[in-house]
Chains A and B, each alone.
Chain A
Amino acid sequence: MQRSFLVLAATIFSGLAAAQPYPSRPVTIIVPFAAGGPTDIIARISGEYFSKALGQQFVVENVAGAGGTTGITRGAQAKPDGYTIMMGHMGTHGAAPALYANLKYDPAKDFTPIGLVAGTPILIVARKDFPAANLKEFVAKVKDPAAKVKQAHAGVGSVSFTTCTLLTSQLGTKSIVAAYRGTGPALNDLVGGQVDYMCDQIVNLVEQVKGGSIRAYAIATPERSPALPNVPTTKEAGLPEYQVSAWNALFAPKAIPQDVAAKLNATLVAALEDPNTRKRLLELGSVIPDKAGRSPQALQKLVESEVARWNPILKAYAQP
């Protein structure tokens, strides 16, 4: 008697939950990196807007590990009811297939794309006393084997790793590379002059450049960043083929209900138009996608092209 009552209650509850309009309870946004980093901040800023617009808490859950793939794997395998979504980025949905042999998800097939949120431009920076006045001289030094130029990155799979590998592969050269555990230690040694250069997201570097402890040679986006208006673009400075930005996007597990996906995308588009959200994203130095780039289809195309782009470059590096 008691048992059947409990079963009845459970059925009614879950049935009720399903019948309510989405969202009827808090939604989890999985961020596959430690809290405080650029992706996490972007997720929190957008999550705040979602919470306000949809009336339910959008809570960030940090599941860090393996360059972000642990969290994304968890997200891909979550129940496709729209209550678990995730923030993927260039690494997890672009470079990962080339870097991780046992990747448990396919970025192009195992997700429902919601939309691009924001991209963080990549800066080429060097220690403040590096003997090059502009990008052209910098490139000459990097290509010169006698100069023994040293590169730092934040670990295999990090944005600084993939973007700098792209740079050296485009220049057709190999630098002396030192691996660090995270951006903090790498930046520390760059400021201390132990290494010569790094490529990383503008958020991590902007105050250092402004403060003069490191110098920036170029930014890898078509236009200069308002946060650092004195830094030329790679196009202006003579390396137009180096175009890369650490894009961040929202994904959901494969096959979530159509209307839920549409609602999420609509809310995202509205968030990117909201003046408060825009302001905070721009303060970070990030680039907000233009209207054409905000659709799920645009995101899907980006994922596919990114996977194709990174595959040959990183596979060439990852052979021991």
Chain B
Amino acid sequence: MPAKLLRQDVLGALAVIAVAAFAYWLARNLPAGAAGGMGPGALPKGLALLLGALGVVLLLNAFRGEVLGRWSIRGPLCVLGALMLFGLAVRPLGLVVAGPLAIAAAASGSSEVRWRETLIYGLGMTLFCVALFKFALGLPIPLAPWLLGY
């Protein structure tokens, strides 16, 4: 697609239409009208249709809009990866592992990362979090199930 056509709103409109279609598809089996008035499917389907219609309107007006900016990969990948790693690690491995892991993964998303500093900071911050969340606040978050059992 020629760069001039790749407007912000074109992509936006297409995304919106895609989401609307997906939502409608997910709700396809839900009955829309029922004895007491509205069924479970009424609102999801209705909203999906409305969203799709609005997406089309946006698309029609999109060719006069702003051009798309640059997207980065490193930042989102590392930050979101850090969150996913944390979620995966926190119950089997506990906070003492998930913490530094998340900080290290996140830090690699910044172009200014310095590894030694990050390592020390990560361990220190995890210790602080353990003290704050586990001991001071008493949240039932696993510390190190593989070592301590809780």
**Is A14 a contact partner of B149 (Cβ separation < 8 A)?**
yes
Contacts of A59 in B (CB 8 A): 140
- Map CB proximity to B onto A156-196 as digits: 1 under 8 Å, 0 otherwise: 00000000000000000000110000000000000000000
| Residues of chain B at interface, number, CB under 8 A | 10
> Chain B: interface secondary structure?
loop
Measured CB to CB, the nearest residue on chain A to B145 is: A79
Q: Say whether A320 faces chain B, with CB atoms less than 8 Å apart.
A: yes
Contacts of A26 in B (CB 8 A): 150
Measured CB to CB, the nearest residue on chain B to A81 is: B149
Contacts of B39 in A (CB 8 A): 320
**Is B140 a contact partner of A25 (Cβ separation < 8 A)?**
no
**Is B149 a contact partner of A17 (Cβ separation < 8 A)?**
yes
**Is B140 a contact partner of A13 (Cβ separation < 8 A)?**
no
CB distance from B17 to the nearest CB of A (A): 30
Contacts of A61 in B (CB 8 A): 140
**Is B147 a contact partner of A25 (Cβ separation < 8 A)?**
no
Q: Say whether A28 faces chain B, with CB atoms less than 8 Å apart.
A: yes
**Is A320 a contact partner of B140 (Cβ separation < 8 A)?**
no
A-B contact count (CB 8 A): 21
In A280-318, which residues have CB < 8 Å from any B CB? none
Q: Say whether A10 faces chain B, with CB atoms less than 8 Å apart.
A: yes
- Map CB proximity to B onto A1-29 as digits: 1 under 8 Å, 0 otherwise: 00000000010011001000000011010
- Map CB proximity to B onto A57-76 as digits: 1 under 8 Å, 0 otherwise: 00101000000000000000
Contacts of B147 in A (CB 8 A): 10, 13-14
Q: Say whether B121 faces chain A, with CB atoms less than 8 Å apart.
A: no
**Is B150 a contact partner of A320 (Cβ separation < 8 A)?**
no
Q: Say whether B148 faces chain A, with CB atoms less than 8 Å apart.
A: yes
**Is A10 a contact partner of B146 (Cβ separation < 8 A)?**
yes
CB distance from A253 to the nearest CB of B (A): 16
Interface residues of B (CB under 8 A from A): 31, 34, 36, 39, 140, 146-150
Given contacts A13-B147, A176-B36, A320-B34, 6 further A-B contacts (CB under 8 A): A13-B148, A13-B149, A14-B149, A25-B150, A26-B150, A83-B149
